[in-house]
């Protein structure tokens, strides 16, 4: 696995003497290597033009670093308006073309939602047969765009969407039937419900069994369930502060022998990042996954 992340809380340049964060790319690469990372999303990367992105990817590669992927979460493959849905699928295809042009090997998103504004929202109609048909059709269109690009279309599970369980992941892989182009983002926390949050190890075991070599990316997060809240509440927390057994999770993925990014996300500042990486690194080392 290629552990890594980003530098949260830096904000827009100028910082640390750099006029822009592209000017500070070497600084970011240096710190990523000091931390022992092998994947990095540079601050500012999403806002750079294709030429700068391509140069950044090449500079990272010289230090055995990869950009984990390009997110397509703003696009909804199950939008209730057919015309908007079709345009969103085309937009994901264009993002695949961009990824291929700059040397990034993954474009990731969720299955989509009948919600008009949020692609990962639980919504009425998400699990209707028509939704599955449209999801599979959209995935195949994106997978066709991946052909010859070196890019894989990477699906992320989210409770409340079509991809809410390992069994649903298996169904999607079988239905789309494009193993050369389709991958899974093993975002374990996105499977968490109040019933499952206390022990996600069975989800790890099941997904490893049903998806295995289709795993193309990990998003490293933690979660906890607070039963004392007046409403059902599962919250994402800094790795090490919740119930995720990182040793079990990372050990199982390591046993697959996959050289895929394992990316820390949703962190607010550098102290939080340092705490998260300290816990993940310790657990990964404990099981021989580092």
pLDDT > 90 fraction of the chain, expressed in percent and rounded? 92
Query: What is the rounded average pLDDT of the residues 170-176?
Result: 98
Q: Tell me, what's the pLDDT at 230? A: 60
Q: Tell me, what's the pLDDT at 144? A: 98
Residue 248, in any domain of the structure: yes
- Domain end: 67, 100, 116, which one? 67
- One domain, residues 143 and 112: yes
The Cα–Cα gap between 138 and 140 comes to: 5
Q: Tell me, what's the pLDDT at 160? A: 93
Query: What is the rounded average pLDDT of the residues 134-150?
Result: 97
Residue 280, in any domain of the structure: no
Q: What residue numbers bound the domain in which 139 lies?
A: 69-269
The kind and range of the H/E element at 234 are strand 234-237
Residue 283, in any domain of the structure: no
- One domain, residues 249 and 203: yes
- One domain, residues 125 and 39: no
Give the global pTM: 0.94
Residue 276, in any domain of the structure: no
253 has a pLDDT exceeding 60 = yes
Provide the 3-class DSSP secondary structure of residue 238. Answer: coil
- One domain, residues 110 and 252: yes
The Cα–Cα gap between 255 and 43 comes to: 32
Pairing state between β 234-237 and 261-264: unpaired
Residue 288, in any domain of the structure: no
- One domain, residues 31 and 84: no
Residue 95, in any domain of the structure: yes
pLDDT in tens, 235-250: 999 999 999 999 999 9
Count of structural domains, the chain: 2
Query: What is the rounded average pLDDT of the residues 27-46?
Result: 97
Residue 278, in any domain of the structure: no
In this structure, the number of other CB atoms found within 10 A of the CB of residue 10 comes to: 16
pLDDT in tens, 47-60: 999 999 999 999 99
Q: What is the mean pLDDT of the chain?
A: 95
- One domain, residues 6 and 111: no
Q: How confident is the model at residue 10 (pLDDT cuts 50, 70, 90)?
A: confident
Q: Tell me, what's the pLDDT at 16? A: 82
- One domain, residues 24 and 92: no
The Cα–Cα gap between 157 and 230 comes to: 27
- Domain end: 37, 67, 97, which one? 67
- One domain, residues 190 and 109: yes
Q: Tell me, what's the pLDDT at 228? A: 75
pLDDT in tens, 210-236: 999 999 999 999 999 887 776 567 899
DSSP letters for 111-164: ---SSSS-TT---TTTTSHHHHHHHHHHHHHHHHHHTTTT-EEEEE--TTSS--
- One domain, residues 108 and 228: yes
- One domain, residues 32 and 117: no
In the chain, the N- to C-terminal Cα span, in Å, equals 8
- One domain, residues 50 and 190: no
The Cα–Cα gap between 173 and 184 comes to: 9
Q: Tell me, what's the pLDDT at 222? A: 97
Residue 33, in any domain of the structure: yes
134 has a pLDDT exceeding 90 = yes
Q: Residue 5 class from Cβ within 10 Å (0-12 exposed, 13-18 middle, 19+ buried)?
A: buried
Instruction: Name 45's Cβ contacts closer than 8 Å, sequence gap at least 6.
Output: 53, 56, 67
The Cα–Cα gap between 267 and 100 comes to: 28
Q: Tell me, what's the pLDDT at 12? A: 79
Pairing state between β 152-156 and 2-5: unpaired
- Domain end: 47, 67, 87, which one? 67
DSSP letters for 10-41: --SSPBTTBSSTTTTHHHHHHHHHHTT-SEE-
> Residue 223: which CATH number?
3.20.20.150
- One domain, residues 113 and 210: yes
pLDDT in tens, 265-282: 999 999 999 999 999 999
């Amino acid at each position: 696995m290629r552990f890594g992340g980003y530098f949260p809380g830096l904000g827009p340049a100028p910082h640390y003497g750099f006029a822009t964060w592209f000017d500070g790319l070497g600084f970011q690469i240096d710190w990523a290597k000091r931390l022992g990372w092998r994947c990095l999303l540079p601050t500012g990367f999403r806002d750079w033009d294709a030429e700068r992105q391509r140069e950044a990817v090449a500079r990272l590669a010289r230090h055995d670093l990869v950009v984990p992927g390009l997110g397509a979460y703003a696009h909804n493959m199950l939008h209730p308006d057919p015309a908007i849905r079709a345009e969103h699928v085309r937009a994901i295809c264009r993002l695949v073309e961009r990824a291929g042009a700059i040397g990034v090997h993954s474009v990731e998103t969720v299955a989509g939602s009948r919600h008009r504004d949020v692609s990962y929202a639980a919504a009425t109609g998400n699990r209707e047969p028509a939704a599955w048909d449209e999801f599979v059709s959209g995935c195949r269109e994106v997978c066709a765009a991946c052909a010859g690009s070196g890019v894989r279309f990477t699906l992320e599970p989210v409770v409340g969407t079509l991809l809410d369980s390992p069994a649903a992941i298996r169904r999607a892989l079988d239905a789309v039937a494009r193993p050369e182009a389709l991958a899974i983002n093993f975002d374990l926390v996105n499977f968490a419900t109040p019933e499952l949050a206390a022990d996600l190890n069975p989800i790890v075991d099941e997904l490893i069994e049903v998806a295995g070599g289709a795993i193309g990316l990990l998003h490293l997060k933690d979660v906890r369930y607070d039963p004392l809240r007046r409403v059902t509440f599962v919250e994402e927390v800094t790795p090490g502060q919740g119930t995720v057994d990182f040793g079990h999770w990372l050990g199982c993925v390591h046993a697959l022998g996959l050289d895929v990014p394992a990316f820390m996300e949703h962190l607010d500042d550098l102290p939080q990042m340092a705490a998260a990486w300290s816990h993940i690194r310790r657990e990964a080392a404990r099981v021989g996954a580092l």
